[in-house]
Amino acid sequence: MHVVLSISAKRLALGLATLLAISLIVFFSVELLPGDLAEAVLGQGATPEAVAALRHELGLDRPAAVRYMAWVLDLLHGDLGRSLATGRSVAELVADRLGNTVVLALAAAAIAMPLGVGLGILSTVYRGRAFDRVASTASLAGISFPEFFTAYMLVAIFSVKLGWLPAVALVGTGESWLQRLVVLTLPALTLALAVVAYVLRMTRAAIVGVMAAPYIEMAQLKGISPVSIVIRHALPNALSPIINVVILNLAYLVVGVVVVEVVFVYPGLGQLLVDSVSKRDIPVVQACCIIFAATYVLLNLLADVLSVLSNPRLKRPRQQV
Amino acid sequence: MQDHCGINRRGLLLGASALGLASSLPLRASAQTPRKGGTLRIGMADFSTSETLDPTLMDSQFQQNLHWQLRNNLIEVGPGGVLIPELAESWEGSKDAKTWTFRLRKGVTFHNGKPFTADDVIYSFNLHLKEGSKSQARPLLAQVESMKADGPEVVVFELKDANVGFPAITSAVGLYIVPNGETDFDKGIGTGGYILEHFQPGVRSVVRRNPNYWKAGRAHFDTVEMICMKDATARANALLTGQIDAYNSVDAKTVSLLQRGNAIRINRVKSKAHFAFPMMVNQAPFTSNDVRLAMKLAIDREDIVKRVLSGFGSVGNDHPLSPAYQMYSADIPQRAYDPDKAKFHLKKAGASDLRVQLHVSDTPFTGATDAAVLYKAHAAKAGITIDVVKEPEDGYWSSVWSKKPFCATRWSGRVNEDVIFSLVYSADGIKAGWNETRLNDDRVNRLVADARREFDTEKRRALYGELQRIVHDDGGSNIFAFSDFIDAVSNKVTHGELSGEYMLDGSRAAERWWFA
Amino acid sequence: MNILGKLNRAPLSAKIGIGILAINVICVLFAPWIAPYAEGQVVGDPWAPGLVGAPEGDLAPTTLLGTDHLGRDVLSRLIFGARNSILIALLTTTISFSIGITCGLLAATMRGTVDQVLSRIVDVMMGFPTLIFALMVLAILGSSIPVLIGVIALLDATRVFRITRAVAMDLEAQDFVEVARLRGESIGWIMRRELLPNAVSPLAAEFGLRFCFVFLFIATLSFVGLGIQPPTADWGSMVRENAAAISFGILMPLFPASAIALLTVAVNMIVDWAVASTSGVRNDN
């Protein structure tokens, strides 16, 4: 077990380094973008003096490196800073939206992951049979539509035509959990459809890959049932890539939801990030990017630990992971 | 991101004819007596997560609507561009049009109970005027030499130069009256018909009726909620399913589809907002007026109005005035699509096989990219090659507009003819950063100044007629269309005659509408 | 075994896949000759119905699939769109796989510093929200097709890297690789001969998916205002530009969406068949 712990500690340290690298890159890419917050806030036709006035007021006339260091120092004190544009606390700005994003991602994952892995396993069991083909083709067709289009179609059918579910996901006015679930159904479904096929196919591919191994053939010769072979013998050895895929997709559900947020008017983190980039509101952009990156780093760490646990050979100390 | 209506991204100023000519179609004047009650929910297209309620920072339709729910100006612009006394009861100019005296309304209080006086007006105007102010309304008020209170109910403005159109300027976006000494603008304290309950920038705002509102027969809803909805399809779906009662910036292509049922009404209002492809007259090849004329002749305006605006607009004539302006000149013949004449001008300029880059994005107006693509096809018949360069929507105003020699633009209407010509077509406009074509014509500069001094309407009409002709003939702007404002509202909502200043009844729907 | 013979014995799904792909290839090669109208030509009113799906008693439509939001012929734009979309997707996917597989295998075999450096770079890149990364790069460099291809290829390569590395790491721990190492084979040999063939199956599945994700990503980029320059037709943008109509029961955006779906399914059917017939796994698929 101590192997796992030492790996985790090492990865956590690396994760922090990754976050630092990301904050640096984010900061200086926003610097590279044409225009700055002063111009963005004042909009078209801003007079040069007005821009200069605002720039000075916000401290944007200080060198970029100085501003970055100030931001890092604040962060070390646990202060995410204030939005340049509104003067509101970034932590406050982000907290609500982060909650919304996580709830939506969990809802989508709750639909997509069991469905994807389950269908993937069934597809291997019934490999080559009608079920396999239908599941594969249907899920492929499902992800061939751009997300916003899937969303529009779901809305057209379930909201406009049938009137069963709300067309836009308005949250934040003290609704009950049940109401929240109803509101979340369509966005979660849209996201789930986007990842189910992916999880299904990778699960199937991973298990099929293992099925070629000699010990499986041995098991088949022994006359063990196909279901048992897949679940007892093949699946455990295919776990590593499956876990990887599931977790990569989980990360996607948190990070990649901008489009769904826009279509369903759902106040999540993605929309805030896009808006803040367009306003060059660096503290907010930084906070959002760090949150997304941290999500990714932590999920990744989880994937690695689970991979190690699921593959006894990798636990041998000889290997570096 | 599709659908910035961007009217006020450019800022500020104001719509309608100050001197009061009909600028909007009378739409459905209702004889009903307004009924109180209910919650009005509006889906807003144009907003940003970086908004505040600071009057000097003006950015979006959302902000503007919220300001007018919470606050008032000295003068309000009503339907037809009529100036209605708001916090000013009356106003009067001196003979030389340099001194303007405003008499203020008595017995008005702010939401926090503080009585409204002349000091509040001076403080509010100074927010824009003071040294180092970042307000975009600053150029508008640059003409003010001094302001002083004459007792608690009178404010006197001294101007540097004569301007008969000055009172109208006080109705502009941004010139809202806040309490003297106010610094925490996000509390939303004003004299308006609603009191701020909740404001989360980029998400929503909620206001409830001000029980002590001074204006009779206005602000009928119990609460008004505005929800930020970037995506046009999401707005349409929300209205179709009854989650909202109205939304602005309707995608013109979907108008006939929305009207299929009986539950939704389309509010279509003629506006002064125009779309253009400005050319910088100081940049090759547009330094040659023959090239500019060729470019103006090589666009099929009817086709663009039909396809990009889906017919919800009218063709422009390469000057900024629509018939909604009082000083519009009907004498200038409409420029038509004429590839042969364009070729003739190109030949004269020695620029056959002209090739130009047109920089666009959908930021200035939805469909700008489509319009550019159609223009490309039109111009090809005149032997002009237009390379359409699609720029990112993000940062368009700061890095493309008025930087690239040939781009797309949109101008919302301005309070009067003086503002649009002095701001966008004069030498002063170059200094202020608004003159996108860099036209610097002595005749224009002189006519603008003369018109400001002229009290006689007919003489002013002649001066503005001349201005329109010069910009039409020699200017750099290819002004091809005036757009209509299109809002979609539920049939449950009723209102009087609509204003054409901005969408949603001049951004005052919350104050003027009610539930049937 | 000759190709024709192999084709003949291919399962039905693969034949369908090849048929669809062939039609698309013809469109790619001969678009200007097949398409009834030019790429940007306006032929009718916006969203006019075509022969397919026109209401009874309507004026005889002049187009097969109707017109788009600007009144351009949908069929013609689909045919031209095939050319742009497929070439871009193919190029992007190929580049991303070349980068991703090479780096992934390198990381898995060399381990140590190489693995650390590559993995950290990928971590940083994947830690970025994809759309934001693309948005920033395209805003800085401008949204031209080469930049678009480069950005998407780079973003996709990170996922390919992760999968290759994970698969190769697993294989690396197995006995036959260790045997090869003990035999003193070079790293390149191990990568090529031992790891790559065994990683083909999951990677091929990935290729099929990534290929169609490029269309989708371009569509998504055009949702936020970047993407392919008009009036160039591309399937993803066609869906985007017309998507609003779907709420009103106009099916036009389904045509380009179905074109993407059909091609995706076709490519994946072929990939499945190819994987099955090369990997030696008995798979009746």
| A271: contact with B, CB 8 A cutoff | yes
Residue C139 C-alpha, separation from nearest chain B C-alpha, in angstroms: 6
Q: Going from the N-terminus, what domains does chain A have, and what CATH number goes with each?
A: 90-315 (1.10.3720.10)
Q: Going from the N-terminus, what domains does chain C have, and what CATH number goes with each?
A: 14-45+62-279 (1.10.3720.10)
| C216: contact with A, CB 8 A cutoff | yes
Q: Are C71 and C44 in contact (CB under 8 A)?
A: yes
Q: Are B477 and B325 in contact (CB under 8 A)?
A: no
| B188: contact with A, CB 8 A cutoff | no
Assigned token pair, B427:
């030498």
Query: What distance in Å separates the CA atoms of residue C194 and residue C172, rounded to the nearest whole number?
Result: 9
Residues of A whose CB is below 8 A from C220: 146-148, 259
Q: Are A44 and A307 in contact (CB under 8 A)?
A: no
Q: Are B22 and B328 in contact (CB under 8 A)?
A: no
Which is more confidently placed, C2 or B114?
A: B114
CB within 8 Å: C247 and B233: yes
Instruction: Read off the pLDDT of each residue in A6-31 and give the average, rounded to a whole number.
Output: 82
CB within 8 Å: B59 and A41: yes
pLDDT digits (tens, 9 = 90+) for C39-55: 777 777 777 777 766 55
| C250: contact with B, CB 8 A cutoff | yes
Residue B160 C-alpha, separation from nearest chain A C-alpha, in angstroms: 20
- Which residues numbered 110-129 in A keep a CB inside 8 Å of some CB on C? 127-129
Query: What distance in Å separates the CA atoms of residue B464 and residue B449, rounded to the nearest whole number?
Result: 11
Other Cβ atoms less than 10 A from the Cβ of B76: the count is: 22
CB within 8 Å: A140 and C236: no
Query: What distance in Å separates the CA atoms of residue C260 and residue B498, rounded to the nearest whole number?
Result: 45
Question: For residue C54, what pLDDT is reported?
Answer: 57
- DSSP 8-state class, residue A157: I
Which residues is B356 bridged to in the sheet?
A: B386
Question: For residue C60, what pLDDT is reported?
Answer: 57
pLDDT digits (tens, 9 = 90+) for A197-224: 888 888 888 888 777 777 777 777 887 7
Assigned token pair, B43:
């889906």
Instruction: Read off the pLDDT of each residue in A40-48 and give the average, rounded to a whole number.
Output: 64
At A214, which helix (H) or strand (E)? Answer: helix A214-221
Which residue bears the tokens 């000013």? B88
What integer best gives the mean pLDDT of chain A?
A: 80
Query: To 10 degrees, what angle do helices A235-255 and A177-211 make?
Result: 140
Residues of C whose CB is below 8 A from A211: 281
| Cα dihedral C107/C112/C113/C119 (nearest 10) | 40
Omega of the bond leading into B285 within 30 degrees of 0 (cis) = yes
Binning pLDDT at 50, 70 and 90, where does residue C282 land? very low
- In a structure prediction context, what are the per-residue pLDDT tens digits for chain B, which is 516 residues long? 333 333 333 333 333 333 333 333 344 444 567 889 999 999 998 888 878 899 988 768 899 999 999 999 999 988 877 889 999 999 999 988 999 999 999 999 999 999 999 999 999 999 998 877 777 787 788 889 999 999 999 999 999 989 998 999 999 888 999 999 999 999 999 999 999 999 988 889 999 999 999 998 899 999 999 999 888 888 988 998 889 999 998 887 788 788 887 789 999 988 888 999 999 999 989 999 999 999 999 999 999 998 888 889 999 999 999 888 888 998 999 999 999 999 999 999 988 889 999 999 877 887 898 899 899 999 999 999 999 987 776 667 777 888 899 999 988 888 788 888 988 998 888 877 788 999 999 999 999 989 998 888 899 999 999 999 999 999 999 999 998 989 999 999 999 888 888 889 989 999 999 998
Q: In the Cβ-directed half-sphere of B123, how many Cα atoms lie within 13 Å?
A: 12
Query: What distance in Å separates the CA atoms of residue B283 and residue B263, rounded to the nearest whole number?
Result: 52
Binning pLDDT at 50, 70 and 90, where does residue C2 land? low
Q: From the list A144, A204, A256, which residue is nearest C212 (CB)?
A: A144
Which is more confidently placed, A232 or B156?
A: B156
Q: Of B430, B406, B401, B512, which is closest to residue B6 (Cα–Cα)?
A: B401
- Tell me the ipTM for this assembly: 0.78
Binning pLDDT at 50, 70 and 90, where does residue C243 land? confident
Question: For residue C231, what pLDDT is reported?
Answer: 65
Which amino acid appears at position B244 of this protein? I
CB within 8 Å: A275 and B202: yes
Which amino acid appears at position B156 of this protein? V
Residue of B nearest to C243 (CA): B233
Question: For residue B263, what pLDDT is reported?
Answer: 87
Q: Are B255 and B486 in contact (CB under 8 A)?
A: yes
What pTM was computed for the model?
0.81
Assigned token pair, A113:
């992951």
Can you give chain C as a three-state secondary structure string? Answer: CCHHHHHHCCCHHHHHHHHHHHHHHHHHHHHHHHCCCCCCCECCCCCCCCCCCCCCCCCCCCCCCCECCCCEEHHHHHHHHHHHHHHHHHHHHHHHHHHHHHHHHHHHHHCHHHHHHHHHHHHHHHHCCHHHHHHHHHHHHCCCHHHHHHHHHHHHHHHHHHHHHHHHHHHHCCHHHHHHHHHCCCHHHHHHHHHHHHHHHHHHHHHHHHHHHHHHHHHHHHHCCCCCCCCCCCHHHHHHHHHHHHHHCCCCCHHHHHHHHHHHHHHHHHHHHHHHHHHCCCCCC
Which residue bears the tokens 């690695």? A304
DSSP SS3 for B14: coil
Q: Are B243 and B41 in contact (CB under 8 A)?
A: yes
Q: Are C63 and C51 in contact (CB under 8 A)?
A: yes
Query: To 10 degrees, what angle do helices A235-255 and A90-125 make?
Result: 150
Query: What distance in Å separates the CA atoms of residue B449 and residue B162, rounded to the nearest whole number?
Result: 9
- DSSP 8-state class, residue A82: B
Q: How much of chain C, in percent, has pLDDT values that exceed 90? A: 3
| A281: contact with B, CB 8 A cutoff | yes
DSSP letter string, B23-47: -S-------SPP----EEEEEESS-
Residue B14 C-alpha, separation from nearest chain C C-alpha, in angstroms: 28
Residue A134 C-alpha, separation from nearest chain B C-alpha, in angstroms: 32
Which amino acid appears at position A266 of this protein? Y
Question: For residue A173, what pLDDT is reported?
Answer: 63
Return the partners of chain A (3 or more C-beta pairs < 8 Å).
B, C
| A163: contact with B, CB 8 A cutoff | yes
Q: Give φ, ψ of A155 to 5 degrees.
A: -65, -45
Residues of B whose CB is below 8 A from C247: 233, 236-237, 240
Which is more confidently placed, C69 or C104?
A: C104
Which amino acid appears at position A247 of this protein? I
At A308, which helix (H) or strand (E)? Answer: helix A282-310
- Output the CA–CA distances (angstroms, integers) from residue C168 to C113, C193, C207, in the order listed: 17, 12, 17
Query: What distance in Å separates the CA atoms of residue B50 and residue B228, rounded to the nearest whole number?
Result: 13
pLDDT digits (tens, 9 = 90+) for C135-157: 778 777 766 788 888 888 998 89
Query: What distance in Å separates the CA atoms of residue A209 and residue C20, rounded to the nearest whole number?
Result: 28
Omega of the bond leading into C55 within 30 degrees of 0 (cis) = no
Answer whether residue C284 shows pLDDT above 90.
no
Residues whose CB is less than 8 angstroms from the CB of residue B388 and which lie 6 or more positions away in sequence, other chains included? B358, B360, B369, B372, B373, B376, C229, C230, C231
Return the partners of chain C (3 or more C-beta pairs < 8 Å).
A, B
